[in-house]
Amino acid sequence: MNDLSLSPSATGLGQIKSGSGTYHRANLAFFAAGFVTFVTLYDMQPLLPEFAREFRVSPALSSLPLSVATATLSIAMLFAGTLSETLGRKQVMTAALFLSSLLTMLTSVCHDFGALLGLRLLQGAVLAGLPAVAMAYLSEEMETSALGAAMGLYISGNAVGGMAGRLYTAAATDLWNWQSALASIGVFCLALSCFFVKSLPPSHLRKRPFEFRYLFSSLARHLGDPLLLCLYGIAFMVMGSFVTLFNYLTFRLLAPPHGLSQSQVSLVFLVYLLGSLSASLAGRMVNRFGRRAIIRVSLLAMAAGVLVTLAGSLLGIVSGVGIFTIGFFGVHSVASSWVGRRASTAKAQASALYLFFYYLGSSISGTAGGIFWLHWGWWGVVGLIVLLVLLAMILLVPLSRLQGRGGAGAEKCSPI
If asked whether residues 263 and 158 sit together in one domain, one would say: no
pLDDT, residue 160, reads 83
Boundary of a domain, candidates 177, 201, 225 = 201
Which of 201, 233, 265 is the last residue in one of the domains?
201
Q: What confidence score (pLDDT) does residue 351 get? A: 80
CA angle 116, 119, 125 (to 5 degrees): 140
Q: What is the pLDDT of residue 143?
A: 80
Residue 11 located in a structural domain: no
Contact 343, 350 (CB under 8 A): yes
220 Cβ contact partners less than 8 Å away, ≥ 6 residues apart: none
**Does the residue 185 lie in any domain?**
yes
CATH number at residue 337: 1.20.1250.20
Q: List, as own/partner pairs, every contact residues 98-101 make where C-beta atoms lie below 8 angstroms and the sequence separation is at least 24, other chains included.
A: 98/190, 98/193, 99/123, 99/126, 100/36, 100/37, 100/40, 100/126, 100/127, 100/189, 101/36, 101/40, 101/186, 101/187, 101/189, 101/190, 101/192, 101/193
**pLDDT at site 1:** 38
Position 359 scores a pLDDT of 93
Q: Are residues 229 and 361 in the same domain?
A: yes
pLDDT of residue 195: 96
Closest CA to 69 of 114, 112, 107, 119: 119
Q: What are phi and psi of 196, to 5 degrees?
A: -60, -50
Q: What gap in Å lies between CA 318 and CA 314, rounded to an integer?
A: 6
Backbone angles phi, psi at 16, to 5 degrees: -80, 125
Q: Quick check: helix, strand or coil at residue 68? A: helix
- Does residue 193 sit in the same domain as residue 228? no
Residue 3 lies in a domain: no
Region label for 406, one of left (φ > 0), alpha (ψ between -120 and 50) or beta (otherwise): left
| pLDDT at residue number 404 | 53
Give how many domains the chain has, as a whole number.
Answer: 2
Whether 260 and 354 share a structural domain: yes
Q: How far is residue 389 CA from its own chain's centroid?
A: 18
What is the structure's pLDDT at 14?
A: 63
Q: What was the pLDDT predicted at 87?
A: 86
pTM given for the model? 0.83
Note the pLDDT of residue 3.
Answer: 39
Rounded CA-CA distance 174/176 in Å is 6
State whether 254 and 293 are in the same domain.
yes
Contact between residue 130 and residue 189 where contact means Cβ atoms under 8 Å apart? no
Domain hosting 366: range is 215-406
Q: Are 158 and 255 members of one domain?
A: no
pLDDT beneath 50: ranges in the chain = 1-11, 405-416
Verify that 188 and 318 share a domain, yes or no: no
